[in-house]
Structure 1
């Protein structure tokens, strides 16, 4: 197996590179920026949003598997950015070039944002994909287009719906990092919906899940999630306990008026059937984040 990887310098992709090296998997990175310390012979410089033919470069690379992570994910902007529409076309064009170069298996990062906010654990084949954001809609549209394309061109496709990855290297504006900063008086207080229910998964578990889908040549949709629910209030209380901070006043001051019920948790049994299971609990993950934060 020889793997082609996009999004290698991103939050999830940067966790994958050492994992691939550890397992001795040959990898070729495609993107605008070569990862630090990465050999030039294993890098194809390309702007995936640009109109350029990549088939010849892909043929020369000789990769059998593709893991596509690249997308517009700038915090606070990606939900409604028109770049989401551009990434639909870019993703299909990427897979087409890969197929023309003789590729056999594709894994693409989708999102839990494809789902409607349901009253129970999201199931890959029972829960409706009714996204309420441009980002989620674009991911779902990409999935549908690639599903048909791969079926017509004899490629197997694994679609990985990532829930809420977190970890020490995440954007400091993401919910867990932002809460740790606010609780530690390193950032202003911000409002939250205390009753919202979410499913957080450590980024290292996400990386292992994606690699499992690649190595198993898994086909179909898979929830990449921990599979346990926690409310934002419980998250604040957990972070406070680990920081040894009383969160009573913080919770009272940060609470927004209750909005419509929002429940986003995944069923990970399809992924678990491939031999994967999450290794890092939310408490362990937040402890890791705290230990790596500057004092």
Structure 2
């Protein structure tokens, strides 16, 4: 058995939203961590200065970058991706180079390096329009977007490489993740970040469709716990990372209005073709395989996130302006 000092974890996309929270938790738990990130959406500021953290700038689409990052690694968490559903619809080729070819680079390199465990980010987008709720890992998978299809393909590759090269892997199907460090102005941002950003700017949150569509929102701290636990578990296959609860977007806006002290109704725009009406996951396998259940309620997570936003706004407002000479 390897102890903490012998375990070295590679986190691709480690400077991003979910990645940086997981890096923090890994370091706090005593592990050595290497981050591979091209910083297209991740930020150096998301990562701490730490003697057990090694940061490499590189791209998962480059075999050389991935191979270099994988040297000496015992466990790999693959999070780097193009995660915007709308961008995958607009440019499916570019999205596939990240989410299929890039993922395959990481998986193949992990197999060659004989890592002890590969954990990779999948998505609830693989399910498409649910034929049943809640969604279990065995539910029908009919993706509606290139992004969802790409994540489904990743799962097939992982299963194949497990068979061909004995690569132990666990794919985590994240539902709607929210929390600090999610840039509301990025094309990757989820609805929670965008709603809060507009409310704090005293602007009506924008909803595509009637707002009655419901989602399963899970706090990023709980996702980081799932990532860490999955890396050092013996479980392989597929597992939902979800709360098992849902809220519709109009109810979410009411809750955010309450926490922000606003009273702004939604501004409605036409629905997007790739959107589904209702989704929430069954977390039973998460509990059985990883002995985990979400620790953060939606109210607790939203309260923490809004507090973080306000601290960020206050800090940026207090920073002296740089004036060119």
- Per the normalisation by structure 2, the TM-score is 0.80
Q: Unaligned 5+ residue runs, structure 1?
A: none
User: What count of residue pairs does the alignment treat as equivalent?
Assistant: 289
1:189, 1:23 → 2: CA distance?
38
Task: Look up the SS of the partner of 2:207 in the other structure.
Answer: coil
The RMSD of aligned alpha carbons is 2.6
Aligned to 2:215: 198
Task: Look up the SS of the partner of 1:42 in the other structure.
Answer: strand
Task: Look up the SS of the partner of 1:47 in the other structure.
Answer: coil
Q: Does 1:130 align with 2:142?
A: yes
Aligned to 1:265: 280
Aligned to 1:254: 268
- Alpha-carbon distance, 1:111 to partner: 0.6
Worse overlay, 168-177 or 113-122: 168-177
- Alpha-carbon distance, 1:83 to partner: 2.5
**Contact persistence 2:63–2:105 (CA under 8 A):** no
Question: Structure 2 vs 1, CA of residues 171 and 74 (structure 1 numbering), >3 Å: closer, same or farther?
Answer: farther
Structure with more contact order per residue of length (Cα contacts < 8 Å, sep ≥ 6): 1
Worse overlay, 194-203 or 65-74: 65-74
Question: Structure 2 vs 1, CA of residues 161 and 27 (structure 1 numbering), >3 Å: closer, same or farther?
Answer: same
Worse overlay, 112-121 or 78-87: 78-87
2:272, 2:128 → 1: CA distance?
19
Q: Unaligned 5+ residue runs, structure 2?
A: 1-6, 315-325
Task: Look up the SS of the partner of 1:106 in the other structure.
Answer: strand
2:16 counterpart (3, 7, 10): 10
- Alpha-carbon distance, 1:5 to partner: 1.3
Q: Does 1:180 align with 2:196?
A: yes
Task: Look up the SS of the partner of 1:52 in the other structure.
Answer: helix
Task: Look up the SS of the partner of 1:234 in the other structure.
Answer: helix
1:284 counterpart (288, 293, 300): 300
Task: Look up the SS of the partner of 2:169 in the other structure.
Answer: strand
1:93, 1:255 → 2: CA distance?
39
Task: Look up the SS of the partner of 1:21 in the other structure.
Answer: helix
- Alpha-carbon distance, 1:190 to partner: 2.2
1:197, 1:182 → 2: CA distance?
20
1:243 counterpart (231, 253, 260): 260
1:18, 1:204 → 2: CA distance?
10
Question: Structure 2 vs 1, CA of residues 8 and 77 (structure 1 numbering), >3 Å: closer, same or farther?
Answer: same
- Alpha-carbon distance, 1:203 to partner: 0.7
- Alpha-carbon distance, 1:152 to partner: 1.2
Aligned to 1:222: 239
1:26 counterpart (13, 23, 32): 32
Worse overlay, 46-55 or 222-231: 46-55
Aligned to 2:225: 208
Task: Look up the SS of the partner of 1:191 in the other structure.
Answer: strand
1:258, 1:62 → 2: CA distance?
45
Worse overlay, 271-280 or 256-265: 256-265
**Contact persistence 1:197–1:264 (CA under 8 A):** yes
